[in-house]
Structure 1
Amino acid sequence: MTYTTTPDGTRIAHQLQGDGPPLVLLAGQANNHHWWDRVRADFHPARSTLTLDYRGTGDSDKPHTPHSTELFAQDVIAVLDDLGIDRADIYGTSMGGRVAQQLAARHPHRVGALVLGCTSPGGPYGIERGDDVRRALAQPQPGAARQALLELMYTPRWLAGHPGPYHTLGDPRMPAHSRRRHLAASDRHNAWDLLPGISAPTLVLHGTDDLLNPTANAALLADRIPGARLHLIPGARHAYFEEARGHAGPLVLDFLTSTSTRP
C-alpha cells in the first residue's frame, strides 16, 4: 500500500500490481479497490493494474468536504503524477465509469484507451433506475436492502454458486458522511457536453439485464463519444465484469491490445 497526497492535502491510498503498460481500474460508488479483487489478475498477462481507494473509502482520507466525479478524476491524476505515469489506459465501472469520462474529457493526453462499464452520462439525458429499484434499496431492514443489491448485481444462478464474500456492495468501513458525499458525487455527474470531446478509443460495456444502471445508458454513451464501440453482454446484471469475467475480461484485453497496436 502506498499513498499520494493531493493538492488539497487529501491522502489517497493506491495499489499497483503486475508488469506491463498500466491499466487504471476504477471502482463503483462507495467502494474501495477490493471491488476488483476477483478479476484484476485476469489483466496481468498483458497489463499492470493500478487501483485506488477513493477519498472517503478504504485507507484513503475521509474529509468532510464536497466530492465530485471531477474531483475523483483529479485524484487519479495526482496518483499518476506521483508514480511518474504519463499515460494509462482507463477502465471504469459504475461510478468509476463516470470518473473515467471526466478523465478522458478533461485530461485527454493522459488517457490511452478508455473502457466504460455499466455506467451513465448522468445529467438530464441519463436514464435513471426505476422507482421499484429505489424502493428495494431503501428498505429499512438492512438484510433486505443488502439482498436487493445482491440481486441487482448478480443473477440468482451465479449467487447460488458463489456464496461470497462479495466486494461490490460498498466499503463496510466508510463513515456515513463519506457515503452521503459519494452518493451526491454520482448523482450530480453530468458529462453530456463533455462526451463529444473524448478522443481516446472507447469501448462501452453493459449487461443486458442491468436494472441498477439501466442498459439504455450504454447506447447513449456510445452514440455520444466519437467512434465508440458498444458491446452488450447477454443476461448480465450490474457486476457483469465479475459474473461474466470469462467474456468481459478477454474482450477488454483484446480491445486494449488492438488500440495499442494501431498504426
Structure 2
Amino acid sequence: MPYATAPDTTRIAYQVRGQGTPLVLLSGQANDHHWWDTVRDDFHPARRTVTLDYRGTGMSDKPDRPYSTEGFAEDVIAVLDDLGIGRADVYGTSMGGRVAQWVAVRHPHRVRRLVLGCTSPGGPHGVERDPAVSTALSDADPAAARRTLLDLMYTPAWQARQPGLLGRSTVLGDPAMPAHARRRHRLASARHDAWEALGHVTAPTLVLHGTDDRFNPTANAPLLAGRIPGARLHLIPDARHAYFEEFRTVASPLVLDFLGAP
C-alpha cells in the first residue's frame, strides 16, 4: 500500500488503477476509498483513477486532532505530489465534493476539470437537511440509524433488487473508524464553508445531484452551479444521495462525457 506524507506528517494511503488522464475520486464523510468500489471501473481504461483513504479512515493514520475539508484538500495534493501528477481531473461526492471545492480553489493549476456530486457550499448559504433526518441518523440504536442512512442513499425499488444491501454497501461508512475520527469527520463536514471562495474556481465544473436527495438537499446544487463561474448543472430524476451507484448508467457517462470535452 503506497502512502503520501501530508504537511503535518500524517500518512495518507492511496490507490491507483487504470490508464490514461488521472482522475481523483473523493469519497463521502467517514468513508475510505471503498466508497467507489462499485463504479470505479466505469472510468477505466479511459482514466487512471486515484483514490485515497482520508485521515481517520482505512489504512491512513488516524490522529486525534481537528480535521477540516481544507486540510483534506491538502492531503489530496500530497497524494498527487507523491505520484508526480501535476494536473488531474477531480470528482468529489458528498463531503468529497466539499474537499474538491478547496482543491480547485487553493490549487487551481492542479485541477483540469471538476465534478461536484451531491454536495454543498456549506456555511450559512448551504441548505441544511430536515432536522428530522438528522435526528433519525443519530438514533441510539446503530442498526436503526444505518437503516435510515440506507434509505437516504437508495430508492426502495433499488433496495428491493439488492438483497443484503444493508450489510454490504460500500457507502455507509468505514466500520473500522475509531470514534474520535468519526466525530472529527462529522465536524469537518459540518464546518465547511466555501461560499466566498467558489467564485475563484477556474476549472470547468459539472454539478450533479439527485432530485430526491434528502441527505444533502437538492437545492444545494443550483446554489453551487450559480456560484462557480460557467458551471454546468445536471439533476438526475428520482435519484437519492448515492446517485452515482444506483444511477451509474446515467451518471458515469455524464461524467466521462464532461471530462472528455475539449
- TM surpasses 0.5: yes
Give the Cα separation in 1 of the matches to 2:211 and 2:233.
12
Distance in 2 separating the partners of 1:6 and 1:131 = 35
Counterpart position of 2:248: 245
Q: 2:193 aligns with which of 166, 169, 190?
A: 190
Aligned residue runs from structure 1 range 167-182, under 5 A = 167-182=170-185
Deviations 1:78-114 (CA, angstroms, capped at 9, x unpaired): 1100100000000000000000000001100000000
Runs of 5+ unmatched residues, structure 2: none
Report percent identity of matched pairs: 71
Which amino acid in structure 2 is aligned with residue 16 of structure 1?
V
Answer yes or no: is 1:22 the counterpart of 2:22. yes
**Partner amino acid, structure 2, of 1:235:** D
Q: Which amino acid in the other structure matches residue 228 of structure 2?
A: I
Residues 151-178 of structure 1: per-residue CA shift (max 9 Å, x gap) = 0000011011123310111100000000
Residue 235 of structure 1, aligned match among 224, 233, 238 = 238
After the TM superposition, which residues 73-222 of structure 1 pair with which residues of structure 2 at under 5 Å, given as runs?
73-163=73-163, 164=165, 165-222=168-225
Q: RMSD of the TM alignment (CA)?
A: 0.6
How far 1:18 moved relative to its partner? 0.3
Structure 1 gap ranges (5+): none
Q: TM-score, normalised by structure 1?
A: 0.98
Question: Partners of 2:246 and 2:45 in 1: how far apart?
Answer: 20
Deviations 1:109-134 (A, max 9, x none): 00000000000000000000001101
What is the total number of aligned residue pairs between the two structures? Answer: 259
C-alpha distance in 1 between matches for 2:132 and 2:6: 39
Displaced runs of 4 or more, over 6 A: none
Distance, in Å, in 2 between the alignment partners of 1:208 and 1:257 is 25
TM-score, normalised to structure 2, is: 0.98
